[in-house]
Amino acid sequence: MCFQDSYMRGIKTMRLLNYTRLPLEDAVYANRLAYSMHLALQDADGSWRALNHNSGVLFVKATENQNGSLNPKSMKSPWLFSLKEGGYGVFAVRTRSEGDMDSEDLGTVFYFQTKDLVRYEEKGFVKLADGPIQAVRCAVTEDGKYALQWQQSNGHWYEKKLDGLDFLKLNDANVKLAGTPIKKDALLPTNLSEEAVLGIQGAVPCNGIEIPDELGQYLLKKLLPATHVGVAAPKKLLRDGLVWRDSPKKQAARDKESWGEASKEQLKSSLKNVMIDALYSDGTRVPKHVIWDEESLAKIDISKPGRYTLKGKLTQPHFEFPICTDRADPCVCRWNGKYYYIATNDADFNHTLYMRCADSLEGIRDAEEHLILDSTTYEGIGGLLWAPEFHVIDGRMYLFHACTPGPFFCEESHVMELREGGDPLKKEDWSRPKRVVKADGSDICEAGKEITLDMTEFEWQGELYVIWSQRQFLPKDLGAWLYIAKLNREKPWMLASDSVVLSKPEYGWANNHTFVDEGPFALIRGDKLYVTFSSAAVDSTYVVGLLQIEAGKDLLNSANWCKNNYPLFTSRSYEGEYGTGHNAYVIDEDGTTWNTYHARPGVDGPRSTGIRRVHFDIDGEPMLDVIEELDLKPEFSEFETTLVIS
């Protein structure tokens, strides 16, 4: 049954394609990432639309050795199917990172469950044979059982009928699930045809299923960047409507004014406060400032009651990439009405930290640079000056960053404090960097064997926390892991609890070229805490992942956190920007959240700073790939409304 047939029968469904990819473009989409599950939806004209930038949405986790090191893993032959109890299951063959068979996984297939095809849970594995498994299939049969079928290395297919799929009880490599040989004509159908891969670069189709239209629409909203599609312009603007963003105190003052005596300049000033919602393809709406048409303004006689046609056009700040070249790990802070910018300086190989200040985000690009710290300012504070971040704690500004007395293997997190009443742009107003230590004053890790960096601070439900990246090099390089701990409010260079491992680079996109989770930064939205972080090598395949947790849960219990199975922000998010990563957030005076990040203008280009609006999707989760061309389209930005003067 095809997509069109379903609609003819009155059943609203959409066809979903499950596929892997050929490894084609290692510099942009690493070869190992092709060995993951990808999704595409069929449009009404029969063509297929790849989701998530034709990138994977389901990856398998690495395995861990006794010494803590990780073994990267990939998958092949994923099979997607509907579950009797609702939701969907996925079987796949786990492989080594580059897609070849691993002796650790001989004869086993891995099982995942998902309710929405966006979030997946790895449930476990089942042993099917002694030798390699080439492919696997599964579906519910007419008798209500699950038919699990698999192909062994000899090319023969086998089947086992099961009442349920509780593989938590079968997670034992010594227990084999015996099957019965079957012929090819008894195989479950893939529901695919040759044209299924047309138009999808490198697609290797696995199978197709039908899903409810409602779920298909959800996938389109979650796994495609939101696009500006219209304006929610009010039919009329009343006098009060012009000042709806004012405080009650200002509003009361305006109510005492004589509207008839107001000038055109007062009208224009009031209109500057008006923000109109832009509408997006995912059903969300975002307030934008307006450029009002001067000709329609000129026709308004504010001394006379009446109705006047008013034309406007949505606008927002414009940031051409890059805004700063050779500046990585950027961070912007809005403090006392100003915007402060700082970043790792790649131009001099990370030996200086310069700060900029501007009245607006756009002004950062051309703002003057002020030297705050260099490798010779203080004895024992130098080497590589990395990843500076502003943090304001109880009204005081602090600068978190990493530095070293000299050797790379002694790089550690430090904190500088701005003196009370000090000027952030003045080097002498900042304290000597203090090394971050444990609650008892001892070192977080042993210098020369481990390093700490990228420490970020945030407040959540009345407590201060820090998250940082820590990497053990000796006696075995374990890669960089994220740690979390409470922070001492009175002395924010001291932890206030034991540290806990929060995240390891367990997915293929996080251990590509090297095992790294780093660059965390917190973003709070209501009762949700989001933490984005960067992973993989700092090259063109650098990506941004996402962790989240709900209010009321213990942040120091890593099991309470949910990690996205796929990255939010990659080189595939926008053509021409490579190695997107190490981002931070700043909220402007309108309440709009902006993502500051670095990327490369070319595969081998210098790490440089970009700024882009953060879109919050239908679930309230951050969406980082809504580029300016999608965020505000000229053809959908103009509107008319009626100004009512009474």
Q: For residue 47, what pLDDT is reported?
A: 86
Give the separation between CA 382 and CA 373, rounded to whole angstroms: 9
Give the separation between CA 515 and CA 72, rounded to whole angstroms: 9
Helix (H) or strand (E) holding 504: none
How do beta strands 463-472 and 500-503 pair? unpaired
Q: Which residues contact 329 (CB under 8 A, 6 or more apart)?
A: 343, 344, 386, 387, 388, 454, 519, 582, 598
Residues 236, 307: contact at Cβ < 8 Å? yes
Q: How far is CA 462 from CA 335, 494, 526, 562, 638, in A?
A: 21, 17, 14, 22, 44
Give the separation between CA 473 and CA 435, rounded to whole angstroms: 20
Q: For residue 173, what pLDDT is reported?
A: 73
Q: What are phi and psi of 459, to 5 degrees?
A: -110, 135
Residues 356, 341: contact at Cβ < 8 Å? yes
Q: For residue 172, what pLDDT is reported?
A: 75
Give the separation between CA 336 and CA 333, rounded to whole angstroms: 10
Under the banding of pLDDT at 50, 70 and 90, the label for residue 270 is confident
How do beta strands 236-237 and 638-645 pair? parallel
Residues 76, 584: contact at Cβ < 8 Å? no
Under the banding of pLDDT at 50, 70 and 90, the label for residue 171 is confident
Under the banding of pLDDT at 50, 70 and 90, the label for residue 311 is very high
Q: 366-371 — which CB contacts under 8 Å span 24+ positions?
A: 367/341, 370/425, 370/426, 370/427, 371/427
Provide the Cα torsion 115, 116, 121, 123; round to 10°: 40
Residue 7, token pair as written in the block: 């609609």
Residues 646, 305: contact at Cβ < 8 Å? yes
Q: How far is CA 30 from CA 58, 163, 231, in A?
A: 15, 39, 39
pLDDT-wise least confident of 239-248, 493-502, 532-541, 543-552: 239-248
Amino acid at position 14, single letter: M
Find the mean pLDDT for residues 384-403: 97
Residues 480, 427: contact at Cβ < 8 Å? no
Q: For residue 240, what pLDDT is reported?
A: 55
Residues 400, 389: contact at Cβ < 8 Å? yes
Of the candidates 423, 414, 417, 355, the residue with the CA atom closest to the CA atom of residue 392: 417
pTM above 0.85, yes or no: yes
Q: What are phi and psi of 33, to 5 degrees?
A: -75, -20
Residue 186, token pair as written in the block: 């008894």
Residues 115, 87: contact at Cβ < 8 Å? yes
What sign does the dihedral 193-196-198-200 (CA atoms) show?
A: negative
Of the candidates 428, 473, 427, the residue with the CA atom closest to the CA atom of residue 453: 473
Find the mean pLDDT for residues 36-59: 94
- Count the Cβ atoms, other than its own, within 10 Å of residue 102: 17
Residues of the chain with CATH 2.115.10.20: 327-613
Residues 110, 133: contact at Cβ < 8 Å? no
Q: Which residue has the tokens 């890790």?
A: 445
Q: For residue 255, what pLDDT is reported?
A: 44
Find the mean pLDDT for residues 540-567: 97
> What are the pLDDT digits (tens) for 90-117?
999 999 999 898 888 899 999 999 999 9
Using DSSP, state whether 215 is helix, strand or coil.
helix
Q: For residue 256, what pLDDT is reported?
A: 40
Total residues belonging to the chain: 646
Q: What are phi and psi of 159, to 5 degrees?
A: -140, 145
Under the banding of pLDDT at 50, 70 and 90, the label for residue 175 is confident
The CATH architecture of the domain made up of 327-613 is 5 Propeller (2.115)
Of the candidates 167, 41, 22, the residue with the CA atom closest to the CA atom of residue 98: 22
Of the candidates 41, 127, 113, the residue with the CA atom closest to the CA atom of residue 82: 113
Judge whether residue 249 has pLDDT over 70: no
Judge whether residue 292 has pLDDT over 90: yes
Q: Which residues contact 245 (CB under 8 A, 6 or more apart)?
A: 273, 274, 275
> What are the pLDDT digits (tens) for 426-477?
999 999 999 999 999 999 999 899 999 999 999 999 999 999 999 999 999 9
Helix (H) or strand (E) holding 354: strand 352-358
